Structure 1
Amino acid sequence: MESAQTGGRSFLRHPVDIPIEIEAEDVRQREPRRLKDVSLGGLACRSERPLTIGAGVVVTIPLVTPVFHAPCSVVWCRRHGSHYEVGIRFTQVEDIFAARMVEQVCQIEHYRQEVLRHEGRALDGETAAQEWIARYAADFPALDSRH
């Protein structure tokens, strides 16, 4: 698992091929986004439009069943070329822990796609999960509920 430091916070690198949706109070964004990072207590993603710092947003990750929805708030927004990088923090402690589980599912799905692409092996979900756990679970960081 890679991690990066941004603004004094550690971020867990998230696969960019996992879509999310962001619905903001001041800007409605229904088109899928690509999740970039999951941080200790939040996530970072790309947006075509800027989001207002402090704005309430709802993050949806449709990859899992049931679909993951969580209320969040925007903590930073930076222009990056033709798009914006947006930092979003979870506002409810229970969502932080649910997000960690969702993140593991996303990492396993990304692993399954990478194995198919690079090794030509088509793994079912359970086999992909077993291999990912054996290789990466020990290094998978915990999400922190302290904000």
Structure 2
Amino acid sequence: MDKVGRRWAIAAMAWGTLYVASKVHHALTGRLGVTGGPAVEPAAYASYRPGGVALAQWGNAGIGVLGVALVALPLLPVAQRLRRWVLLLPLCAFALMALGGGLVMLIRALVTDVGGAAFGAYCLVWSALIAMTARAVANRRLPRSPSSLPAT
């Protein structure tokens, strides 16, 4: 991956770490929702057993860590030996998931009064950073194999 691609990946990792930090904070305080997300009705807590809210938020934080790790994977030396599609498929799926979630949150915030526009915008930025990382993976130069070198 070239220098610009590395920067996109690092930016996506840093941006994703903000989500993880938000989820860890919510887990420690036993709160539902996400920073900048839609308002959570108090009745939503009724469906959780004691400690269930924190457990759910720890699970969400874990998913965020997996997302950050996925974006970090192209930066590792082992990634150079992988076929592009092995990295591109999950990166593109992740970018589309963030894009879809961001659009839904943003549109919902604009047409209702539940809030969540800030988190929707956050997801759109994260989606763009992941997509630029995927683009860098798609455009990477593959090392030439010994069999493709001219005979001397």
- With normalisation by structure 2, the TM-score equals 0.31
> Whose strand fraction is larger, Structure 1's or Structure 2's?
1
> Whose helix fraction is larger, Structure 1's or Structure 2's?
2
> Larger relative CO (CA 8 A, sep 6+): 1 or 2?
2
The structure with more radius of gyration: 2
